[in-house]
Amino acid sequence: MEPIWLIVIFAATALAGYKLIRQVPSLLHTPLMSGMNALSGVTVLGALCAAGAAVYSGSRFCAYIAIVLAMINVAGGFGVTARMLNMFKSKKEAGGE
Partner 1 sequence: MSDVLYYLLCGGLLLGVMAGIAMLSRVKTAPYGNGLSALCMAAAILLVMRRYELVSLRALWICLAIGLILGLWGAVKVKMIQMPQTVALLNGFGGAASALVAAVYVWQAGPGGGFFYTAAAITLAIGWFTFSGSLIAAGKLHNRIRPQPLIWPGHSRILILTLAVMAALICLLPLWRQGSGAVAVVLSLVSLFFGVAFALRIGGADMPVAISLLNALSGTAGAVAGMTVNEPLLVAVGGVVGASGILLTQIMCRGMNRRLPEILTGATVAVKPLPAADAAGEAAGNSADSQLQAGGDPAGSQKPADDASTDRQKQESGAPSGGKKQEADVFAALRSARQVIIVPGYGMALAQAQHLLKKLSDALEQRGAEVKFAIHPVAGRMPGHMNVLLCEADVPYGQLYEMQDINEQFAHCDIAVAVGANDVINPAANTAEGTPIYGMPVLQIAGAPLVAVCNFDRKPGYAGVENPLYDMDKTVLFLGDAKESLAKLLQALDETV
Q: Minimum Å distance from CB 20 to partner 1?
A: 5
Should residue 91 be labelled a site residue for partner 1 when binding is judged by CB under 8 A? yes
3-class state of residue 95 by DSSP: coil
Q: Minimum Å distance from CB 72 to partner 1?
A: 4
Compute the radius of gyration of the chain from its Cα atoms. 18
Q: What CA–CA distances, in Å, run from 85 to 18, 20, 25, 52?
A: 21, 18, 13, 36
Q: Which of residues 49-88 bind partner 1 (CB under 8 A)?
A: 49-56, 58-60, 62-88
Q: Which of residues 9-38 bind partner 1 (CB under 8 A)?
A: 9-18, 20-38
Q: Minimum Å distance from CB 92 to partner 1?
A: 8
Cα–Cα distance measured from residue 33 to residue 21, given in angstroms and rounded to the nearest whole number: 10
